[in-house]
A and B are shown apart, each in its own frame.
Chain A
Amino acid sequence: MPGPRTRGYEKPKDLKGTLKRILGYMSAYRVHLIVAFIGIIGNAGATVSATYLLRPIINSINPKAGEEPDWNKFTASVLLMAVIYLCGVVFSYLYSRMMLTVSTGTLKRMRVDMFRHMQDLPIRYFDTRTHGEIMSRYTNDIDAMREMLSQGIPQLTSSIVQVVGVFCVMLWLSWQLTLLVLAMLFVMLRVVKVVGGRSANYFIKQQRAIGVVNGYIEEMIEGQKVVKVFCHEPAVNAGFDSRNEELRDAASNAHTFANILMPIMGNLSHTLFALVAAVGAGLAIGGWIDLGVIASFLQYIRQFTNPITQISQQLNSVLMAMAGAERIFALIDEPPETDEGYVTLVNARRAPDGSLQESDRRTGFWAWKHPHEDGTTTYTELKGDVRFEDVTFGYEENKTVLRDVTLYAKPGQKIAFVGSTGAGKTTITNLINRFYDVPDGKIRYDGININKIKKADLRRSLAMVLQDTHLFTGTVRENIRYGKLDATDEEVVAAAKLANADAFIRHLPQGYDTVLTSDGANLSQGQRQLLAIARAAIADPPVLILDEATSSIDTRTEALIEKGMDTLMQGRTVFVIAHRLSTVRNADAILVLEHGSVIERGNHDALLAQKGKYYQLYTGMFELD
């Protein structure tokens, strides 16, 4: 039952181009498609020719006055009809089966393409779109495509073939009656146009009303607890009722037009049936046609008008699916994260002469492989030395977030960023791992311009523990192993112990094999953060970025994991962002950021002695002593 559409009614912009691309996707199933098309033609042909056989059958048993019924002709026609019908059934199954393979396979390819491409998109893309928006490409738009591929296109094709076939035979049987059919066809097309147009308009209105109501529901349910705390229920109810009534109004109009199309078309077809019966009878009396013609013709009317109703219904859903396909292709066409880097990270070992050599085994010792234009290749040891030189950056064209930031982190140093929300702390870390790019040469890693380093290799040399911890569906073990896919079970446990996560993991029902679902909802925020730290620990990179990694861990627990953190940080360059000043005190250098600029730099004692912003922040904690 194709229910009324509740999805968007956007019209596709480039119908031809989109169709071409969809066909491109389907072309992998060329043989299936050809067989399906043969099936469609065969099925339509069977319907048309079997109906035609009504004529000889009726004529043979209804002989002209004085003649005997023609039994041979009757038997032959009925048997032929049975055979043709049987073929029709086989053809019909054949094309449905073929299209099933085509549509499911095509959808899978589209999904995979979309997903693969999504993985390559820059972070900026995700920042500017809501998750719901991207998800709806995978759900709504793909669903519309599925309907179109498995029903829309085959039905449309078979309807067109059938309409053309039936029309030719009708014309051949009786041009007079065909004229009548043409006249009614004209009326029907007008109706489809008027009703269909109205319906589309109202559906757009309904869509808007649904958007408003859903937005309101989402917002109020999200804030349900606040509503209760403020006893705001009556006002919220009133707000909902008025929006709900608007939706009802729009929906009832939209559905009206969707509902009346079928009875109107059906009954116009009955009217045509009545007219053909009457006029045909007149023609038969006049001797222009025989009774068999009327019999076939009356059957043809249904076979002519049904596909037209179907086309009028399918057309909208096909157009909608096309608009959806355009959105899918728009995602696939989105420019991917650019990466012109050519410096790679390789396993290395030190040759007896002290120079670095590439190794194909895991040596636990890494080097940057730097091919030069003149064909030579140099190797630089991976140390974790990071420098910013006058970096100015903004997420949007005219909104600078960082202004002339210069900083250096020597290998093994712990650098902390302090500053209020929006001062640009997270932005700095986003630049280090090239989630966002800055102009050439401004940021150097072990002396190499980071824009020259392949993103994947750059990121492999860094590990991050982010403000919002995200875990994946899977076991605890798999989640920790995410940092190093080939880690052994012992390594996983060691990493967990390092992050002080081992104890709570062992208390979980299945220990390391406990399955985490929906972003680790069965764990507390603190526990999730411990897992994220373990995940970074197992990756064992020279540079570590901790973005408010301990913000959700209470200070007592933090004190417990501090030892683990200290071990983890040993020998690595570490960037720490923290709200809590207690976590940054022992950093080698503390950078105080304000409005995107570094206003102070130094270690804890030096900054306190400086009596600047840091001193204010720090003593702000003690002003009541």
Chain B
Amino acid sequence: MIKKLLPCVGEYKKQSILAPITVACEVLLEIFIPFLMAKIIDVGIKQRDVWYVVGVGALMVVMALLSLCCGALSGRFAAIASTGFAKNLRGRLFHKIQDFSFANVDRFSTASLVTRLTTDVTNTQMSYMMVIRTLVRAPFMLISATIMAVVINAKLSMVFLFAVPVLAVALAFISKTAFPLFNRMFKKYDAMNASIQENLVAIRVVKAFVRRDYENEKFEASADDVRRAQVKAEKVIICNMPIMMLVMNVCIVSVLWFGGGMVANHAGMEAGELMSFINYITQILMSLMMISMIFVTLVMSRSSMARILEMLDEEIDIRDDEADESLAVPDGSITFEDVCFSYAKDGDNLTLSHVNLQIKSGQTVGIIGGTGSAKTTLVQLIPRLYDVYSGRVLVGGHDVREYKIKTLRDAVSMVLQKNVLFSGTIRENLKWGNMQATDAEIEEACRAACADEFIRSFPDGYETDLGQGGVNVSGGQKQRLCIARALLKKPKIIILDDSTSAVDTATDSRIRAAFRENLSDTTAIIIAQRITSVMDADSIIVLNDGEIDDVGTHEELMARNKIYREVYDSQQKGAE
């Protein structure tokens, strides 16, 4: 797991190495201070040598100050190294998402991708900082303090033989008991937050049905669940501190007891040494506590790392490595040859089955079909947003897999069903279609999409700021902007996936009229709910359950196709 994340250290290798080195220096300098203190007491005071006291005292102060510098430096190095590591990791993840195909994006939800890039990266950053700093400091301190204690008095240091295993077992036991309890608590916590979120989103429903009391009761039960789970989990964890104190105190008391005897009987120990020994005990036990805490944090952040790796390991399933760079899309003809498609890549669960289709360049084609009849799926194969399960999709006479993805998608413009505008001005958004578009071109596209008029009605016109997600325009206006954006590409094929559903009928027909005038060479594929949106097309495809039910003109279909007539009748009922 760690091996795969290591390359993210990148240009911050120097700091990543310096941080543990400086922290080690800090420990080394620090560890001698109690030892020197013992010397002051056992030599200085005993021999009443003021100069010795001053000399050793000065040495101690100098060491403490040096240790301070090392500690501060390591803090700086660790900060640079860990934030740099996080930057590289975040960058890699983001670039990876850009490489994702639609199928990859579908596999992760938007919310989960955002969490991975934010919370999970932050957790990993904290763990990394801990590893290069605290995880070096604590064991190093543990070892050096133990050595010092043994040097001072080997016999007395036997107390550790008792203390360390007891403490280790106790801490391990507590962590092991607490972990599942914490997991359960987090689950309850998530459930509670989900219910809050749900209430927020559906507040109108709650109010409309006057379900306040019902929801309050539900929430109170869920909040109490969280409270109980939390008490249960933390009840275990709070034992950590008292147990650690208990062990430490038992050590101190027994050291004083046995050590005191040695000092009084002059049996190889001095008072100062006893005092510094107690200091080392504190440091050793503190380090142990620290190590156990680090492990808890690391284990907790392991799930974050796993989520990140899952993303990095995700296989990109649409590639164009072997495509011919020089191959351009010659025209806007489209052919489907016995195409099957399955989102699950499972032959028994086909979304599209055995579709054969011929569309000539420049034609306008409508697609009609009920919800779930795979209209969107069908057109998404044309710009190769997904790959077919079997069969071939040809654009301009070549299999879509022969083109570079950029070449293909530049030639095939698609207005998605769920369309998105980005923060920035209207002009900036439109330029997504073509970075080099002139003002005249932009206005022309907007006129064709019937967007020019309302854009001009805004005080800032084309410079109107859209805000995140294009929140400052209505649904119908948004759709028209998206169409204009797609037109700016001057594509050979344009696909409108139910892109005028929020546009009123009059505007809708004006857009289609503009299309006919300006885009006579462009193949247009229009998916629509309204028959009127497609009835003037050169041919209309009727899809049913992933299969082509019929293809023909409006008149032909009216004459022979049952589904088409049903749809038509349902929309025209009551008309004269």
Contacts and interface: CB of A to CB of B under 8 A. Distances in A.
A581 B505 contact: yes
B195 interface: yes
Given A267-B71, A617-B505, A623-B509, A81 B204 contact: no
A339 to B, nearest CB: 12
A221 B198 contact: no
Contacts of A274: 33, 36-37, 57, 60-61, 63-64
A420 interface: yes
B416 A225 contact: yes
A580 to B, nearest CB: 7
Interface stretch (A166-174, A385-393, A554-562): A554-562
Contacts of B68: 263-264, 267-268, 270-271
Contact of B87 (A63, A118, A248, A524): A248
B371 A285 contact: no
A586 B97 contact: no
B202 A221 contact: no
Interface string A436-463: 0000000000000000000110011011
- Identify which of B126, B477, B504, B509 gathers the most chain A CB atoms within 10 Å of its CB: B504
B61 A519 contact: no
- Identify which of A86, A210, A217 gathers the most chain B CB atoms within 10 Å of its CB: A217
A100 B372 CA distance: 52
A206 B279 CA distance: 39
Given A6-B122, A225-B105, A285 B45 contact: yes
B110 A278 contact: no
Given A100-B234, A126-B200, A229-B414, A462 B208 contact: yes
Given A259-B79, A267-B65, A617 B504 contact: yes
A82 B215 contact: no
A505 to B, nearest CB: 16
A112 B213 CA distance: 12
Interface in A192-241: 210, 213-215, 217-233, 235-237, 240-241
B437 interface: no
Nearest to A77: B256
Interface stretch (B167-175, B357-365, B404-412): B404-412
Given A1-B293, A89-B246, A281-B41, A131 B200 contact: yes
Interface residues of A, number: 162
A266 B134 CA distance: 14
B413 to A, nearest CB: 8
A126 B196 CA distance: 13
Given A228-B102, A260-B72, A617-B506, A277 B209 contact: no
B161 interface: no
Nearest to B90: A244
A294 B41 contact: yes
A612 interface: no
Listed from nearest, the 3 A-B pairs whose CB atoms lie closest are A263-B71, A278-B57, A259-B75
Nearest to B485: A230
Contacts of A422: 474
Interface stretch (B323-331, B335-343, B527-535): B527-535
Interface string B25-49: 0100010011011001100110010
Interface in A112-126: 112, 115-116, 118-120, 123, 126
A214 B216 contact: no
Nearest to A273: B33
B294 A291 contact: no
Nearest to A469: B205
A241 B91 contact: yes
A518 B190 CA distance: 12
A534 interface: no
B159 interface: no
Contact of B219 (A115, A236, A553): A115
B271 A58 contact: yes
A433 B67 contact: no
B226 A252 contact: no
B468 interface: yes
Contacts of B261: 61
Interface in B239-295: 239, 241-242, 245-246, 249-250, 252-253, 256-257, 260-261, 263-265, 271, 274-275, 278-279, 282, 293-294
A281 B57 contact: yes
Given A231-B405, A557-B370, A264 B72 contact: yes
A579 B475 CA distance: 12
Contacts of B44: 281, 285
Interface in A69-124: 69, 71, 74, 78, 81-82, 85-86, 88-90, 92-93, 96-97, 100-101, 104-105, 107-108, 111-112, 115-116, 118-120, 123
A295 B198 contact: no
A282 B573 contact: no
A526 B370 CA distance: 10
